[in-house]
Amino acid sequence: MKIGLQTWGSNGDIRPLLALSEALQKAGHQVTLAASSIDNSDYTDICQRLAIGYRQVPAHIDFDMPAFAQKTFRMSTLQWLNALLEEVFFPYERAIYEASKQLVEENDCVIGHHFLYPLKLAASKQKKPHFSVTFCHGAIATTNRPPFRFPDLGALINRFQWRLFDYIFDFALKDNLSKLWLSEGMPAFKHVFPELLNSNSLNLVAVDPLFCPYQNQWHPIHQACGFLNLPDTAETWSIPEDLQQFIRHGEKPVYMTFGSLQQAVPDWSMDLFIEAAQKIKCRAIIQTSSDRYPPEAQYGDIYFIGKHPHQAVFKHCAAVVHHGGAGTTHSATLSGCPSIVVPFMDEQLFWACQLQHLGLAPAPLLAKNASAAALAERIKAVLQSEKMQSNALRGKDQIDPGRGTKTATSLIEAAFVRSHQTG
């Protein structure tokens, strides 16, 4: 089968689709991945190694992430999302849609990041099977539970709250998101979620079952496949010798990163991390985002590292400080590390609360309230908590790192067969 995949966003949005592409290719399918990278990372080399076709669409996105972060730091999640779309999606929407049409024309089915409605549009017009991938289940309606941050008022009222949740998103997003859809002669849709942003037949939820015990309350279209984890064997990076020596000679360090968001607040994040580590005198590995601290440099008990596959290093650490991205949350848990989460927006706060509920993290420290003293206090509490350390090891044992891509491949193949039987 020829399969086209398309994604948009930062590394956290592209890496899971890369993992899925690798699994589909290994299962005998011919795979092409089209990616719109808002930080202009290029995935040509890894796709060539994995025998995956790759297209960067567009070749370059003009985006000043630090300036955007300063402008939007205190916005609500929906305000932030609208601002991001205005900067790095709508100006490139036509190019993304043209790439979508080409993918649909060339392939037997297509799979897209849940936000890529241009791919769903192209597939609908050419009558090709379309499946979506969602990285966070916080916006998937359940029959009994309320939406995140809504009060639990019983099943009946909770269902009403989900309808209210839909209308909130419609009010914030529907007008802009529907322009391309309607301009192509498609019928009007009622709600952004799920009608525009999810597949009508299969929405893969790339979340390990550990984090979504209520999946039996979802509509059957939504299927939790598990974390789409790119295996270490797919990458050429290895731990530098000087980092290996740093790890060996002392207590397990605390890892600190805000992932792709760190590029938005490079100096603030570095100062926060360094001062917190110094306050409690812990050894630390810090993902650097400042020229003041070059990669592979060590200053006392702190080692600075550049971009790299997280799990290879996380497994040598005592805890991970992060922003609450879906990928980092899964990687820390897969590595047996408790988390200290500093969320910038609601989706990351959702993951922080999931980790806290499982006993894998303390209460989240909101980025807008973060200080070195508050972060240091949380790190110290985690390092001193035998219960949290044991919970982290138990969480690691419950997650199968290869389950997500295997399950997703099976679900996609079965959905493709069904689409031909019903189509």
The CATH number that applies at residue 289 is 3.40.50.2000
The whole-number pLDDT of residue 65 equals 80
Residue 422, pLDDT above cutoff 80:
no
For 282-326, the pLDDT digits (tens) are 999 999 988 899 999 999 999 999 989 999 999 999 999 999 999
Percentage with pLDDT > 70 across the chain:
100
- Judge if 184 and 269 occupy the same domain: no
The mean pLDDT of 118-143, rounded to a whole number, is: 97
- Judge if 45 and 130 occupy the same domain: yes
The whole-number pLDDT of residue 423 equals 59
Query: Taking the model in full, what pTM does it have?
Result: 0.95
For 365-390, the pLDDT digits (tens) are 999 899 999 999 999 999 999 999 99
- Judge if 258 and 407 occupy the same domain: no
Alpha-carbon separation of residue 86 from 79, 118, 181 (angstroms): 11, 16, 17
Domain span including residue 290: 234-398
Q: Any bridge partners for residue 94, and if so which?
A: none
How many domains in the chain?
A: 2
CB proximity list for 82: less than 8 A, separation 6 or greater: 172, 173, 176
- Judge if 69 and 191 occupy the same domain: yes
| Of 97, 73, 66, 87, the residue nearest 9 (C-alpha) | 87
Radius of gyration over every alpha carbon of the chain, rounded to an integer in angstroms: 21
- Judge if 270 and 188 occupy the same domain: no
**Lookup: tokens for 229:** 């984890």
- Judge if 46 and 163 occupy the same domain: yes
- Judge if 162 and 18 occupy the same domain: yes
- Judge if 383 and 410 occupy the same domain: no
Residue 69, pLDDT above cutoff 80:
no
- Judge if 187 and 41 occupy the same domain: yes
The whole-number pLDDT of residue 262 equals 84
The whole-number pLDDT of residue 420 equals 82
- Judge if 220 and 245 occupy the same domain: no
Angle at 212 between CA 166 and CA 397, to 5 degrees: 160
The whole-number pLDDT of residue 234 equals 85
- Judge if 207 and 260 occupy the same domain: no
- Judge if 393 and 408 occupy the same domain: no
